[in-house]
Structure 1
Amino acid sequence: MSHATVSRAAATPVWRAIADALRADLSEGRYSPGDKLPTEAELAERFGVNRHTVRRGIGKLVEEGLLRSRRGAGVFVAATPTDYPIGARVRFHQNLLAAGRRPEKRVLHSTRRAATKGEAEALEVAQGAEILVHFGLSLADAQPIALFESLFPLGRLPGIAAALEELISVTAALKAVGVADYTRASTRLTAVRADATQALHLHLQEGDPLLRATGVNVDGQGRPVEYGRTWFAGDRVTLTLDQDAYS
């Protein structure tokens, strides 16, 4: 059924037969959570029907919560939100592995510049001090779940740029430059809307809800080593408060 042309003479309405065929594809593992479905035109060709009929079949699975439609991006298999603990020790790779997901980070760009007043205050450096801005994409099971921007004080962390380029992991890079451990000193959560660039990277629609987490990580002496901002896709991540946040 899932690969054959749907007969217009069938007793079952054609759009419902298409929904059943796509549902079977999902149950058989043909598509994984986060995968993008073929276009309406491709599905119309597969089933031998018009795009309106395909759209109605897809709409049924959207109603059931099996698919998500994002205007301008396409139709995607709905993914179960990833639990992401926020506490004294926020570790991207450990958090996702604990949730049974495969973590991945992609660095989009890294640059040096002068710290703004707010950044300098967060990092406890002089305004205009040189910082490293590390920007990229976080993924779970190859699905983008967040954009991150990490700021590091270069005067306090010489060699951090080279370490991040080689290791990607913030924890590993900090350890390579002498920061054996670090903890989260503060976290602020704010609901925001995705701008056009964020929507493009996260495969969302402009204006979709994001949850922005802003935090400062400190070393064992309480000195800030990272000022970070992360924009989580609202429908893909469930932020949870770790017990260690109270300790």
Structure 2
Amino acid sequence: MAIWSEIAGTLRDEIAGGAYPPGSRLQTEAVLAQRFGVNRHTVRRALADLAGQGIVHSRRGAGVFVAARPTVYPLGRRVRFHQIIAAEGRTPSRQIRSVDTRPATAAEAVGLRLAAGSQVHVVEGVSLADGHPLASFRSVFPAARFPDLPAAIREHGSITEALQACGLADYTRAETRLTAQSAPAVLALALQAAEGSAVLQSVAVNVDAAGVPVEHGTTWFAGERVTLTVSPD
């Protein structure tokens, strides 16, 4: 058996035994080379074999990580990130990276049924499970309906709670469009994934009880970490 294959087998057994939990980083190539008494090229070949099996994946400039089990993410009429992740037995969190107000794009205006150039609040950030990024998101809201939303988001740190504070008790999903694409550099950095890795883009419109659009949302899911399911509701 080739040496690289033996090294790959040893690492595979250690990962299966829990020595490296899902999402954790393996030792560097230099450390592994010293551990096994081989050159870095041999270690690199072993890691490539594990990557080919979907056991690990590399992140440019960060290292090699154990692949996390995919999160089952249902897309139904009510999609609440914290509830979905908590139901999986994992810890949900969100990093809100920017809150801005600007004119709506053409697509946003159509989705929200606004006049061209209407002002909208734009919230961008990253959704995480157990501290690992699952998705990057951009949520767009009509500024005229929710004038105090930016302040409410900064106060509550939760979009759902901020909307409740602004008078929107509930909302449901009216439509969702899914597209597969490759992650450009900036998106890959936000997701801590390799540039060019597979992502699933979801473009959705949420409405209030009267059917009036309240949110135009775009979410980019890390393809290797999420299994999207569609509910019949």
What's the TM-score, normalizing by structure 2?
0.91
Is the partner of 2:38 in helix, strand or coil? coil
Counterpart pick for 1:149 among 114, 125, 138: 138
Q: Could you say what the CA RMSD is over the residues aligned between the two structures, in angstroms?
A: 2.0
Counterpart pick for 1:74 among 63, 67, 70: 63
Partner of 2:75: 86
Residue-by-residue CA offset, 1:167-189 (whole Å, 9 max, x unaligned): 22222111111111100011111
Residue-by-residue CA offset, 1:115-147 (whole Å, 9 max, x unaligned): 122212211222222211101111112211111
In 1, Cα distance between equivalents of 2:81 and 2:151: 20
- The gaps in structure 2 that reach 5 residues or longer are none
Partner amino acid, structure 2, of 1:94: Q
In 2, Cα distance between equivalents of 1:118 and 1:64: 39
Matched, 1:48 2:37: yes
In 2, Cα distance between equivalents of 1:65 and 1:209: 13
Partner of 1:210: 199
In 1, Cα distance between equivalents of 2:14 and 2:71: 23
Counterpart pick for 2:26 among 24, 33, 37: 37
What's the TM-score, normalizing by structure 1?
0.86
**Is this contact kept in 1: 2:58–2:193, CA < 8 A?**
no
**Is this contact kept in 1: 2:24–2:66, CA < 8 A?**
yes
Deviation at 1:64, TM superposition (A): 4.1
In 2, Cα distance between equivalents of 1:129 and 1:59: 50
Deviation at 1:226, TM superposition (A): 1.0
**Is this contact kept in 2: 1:120–1:126, CA < 8 A?**
yes
Cα 1:20–1:191 change in 2 (3 A) is closer
Moved over 4 A (4+): 70-73
Deviation at 1:153, TM superposition (A): 0.9
Deviation at 1:72, TM superposition (A): 5.5
